Amino acid sequence: MDGNGRWAQARGLARVEGHKAGAEAVRTVVTECRKLGIPHLTLYAFSSENWNRPKAEVSALFSLLLEFLGKEIPRMEREDIRLVVLGDVDGLPLPQRTALRHGMSRTAHCRSMTLNLALNYGGRAEIVRAARRMAEAGLAPGDYSEERFADYLYTAGQPDPDLLVRTSGEQRLSNYLLFQCAYSEFYFTPVAWPDFGVEALHEALRAFTGRSRRFGKTQEQIDAC
Ligand code: IPE
Ligand code: MG
């Protein structure tokens, strides 16, 4: 979710106004994905590098998160949406940590959709953490495999992303789900996140359905299946 700041600045507004509009876009996109039956949605809300932003912006982002959770967790429970946090929850401020833990336990039984919020998340740190956890679990070197490794990531038990969308014109991964995105389709749009609504989502999905995914095979092999 990129471009909140630029969206606001283009309108002569403070960056925080862009983040508020961005939170509205989150509601819209979650609702539409739930309606479409998309079983897993991950939103990159705060990277471990985002701590480098001005203090006031970081605290505005965390206030918005708290407000968002207060409103959305009861709704997620009603709509059978499970909340999962990808990232270092312990490194978040206490009120947000508490609200997230509460949200995760309240929705742990929900099955219609999983909403992953990547918060205080970095892909390389996740990989190092997984390696450390495997070693701590006492796994012998021969037991290491790609599948096993995936069990020690924040996304354990979930499928790899089919589609990765980045808004606002930037075309890079920014330390996002590095292990999991090995075969994801990438979609970049100039649309700023606050303007990413139902229409833009459908356009991204249409683009995805037009892609031919070969997973390293030749087109002939795919056609023969
Ligand atoms: C994305 O918008 C929101 C977060 C990273 C939390 P940005 O704040 O990155 O917006 P730009 O890139 O400055 O426009
Ligand atoms: Mg940005």
Q: Read off the pLDDT of each residue in 181-199 and give the average, rounded to a whole number.
A: 98
- List pLDDT tens digits, range 26-73: 999 999 999 999 999 999 999 999 999 999 999 999 999 999 999 999
Going from the Cα of 100 to the center of ligand 2, the distance in angstroms, rounded, reads: 24
Q: Does position 213 have pLDDT exceeding 90, yes or no?
A: no
Contact between 175 and 124 under an 8 Å Cβ cutoff? The reply is yes
Residue with tokens 């991204």: 204
Closest atom of ligand 1 to 45 CA is: 6
Rg from Cα positions in the chain: 18
Q: What does the chain come to in residues?
A: 225
Nearest protein Cα to ligand 1, atom 9: 2
Q: What is the pTM of this model?
A: 0.96
Q: Which tokens belong to 215?
A: 């997973």
CA of 68 to the centre of ligand 2 (A): 20
Ligand 2 centroid–CA 178 distance in Å is 18
Tell me which residues have their CB closer than 6 angstroms to ligand 1. 1-6, 22, 46, 50, 61, 168, 193
Active site residue 50: yes
Atom of ligand 1 nearest to the CA of 47: 5
Measured in whole angstroms, the distance separating CA 157 from the mean position of its chain's CA atoms is 15
Q: What is the mean pLDDT of residues 109-135?
A: 98
Percent share of the chain, pLDDT over 70 = 100
- The residue type found at 35 is K
Q: What is the pLDDT of residue 222?
A: 87
Structure tokens belonging to residue 82: 């499970």
Examine the residue annotation and report whether 2 is marked as an active-site residue of this protein. yes
Atom of ligand 1 minimally distant from the CA of 61: 6
Q: What is the mean predicted confidence (pLDDT) over 186-205?
A: 98
In this prediction, residue 51 carries a pLDDT of 98
Question: What is the C-alpha to C-alpha distance for residues 125 and 49, in angstroms, rounded to an integer?
Answer: 11
Q: What are phi and psi of 10, to 5 degrees?
A: -65, -20
- The stretch 207-224 carries a mean pLDDT of 91
| Mean pLDDT along residues 185-209 | 98
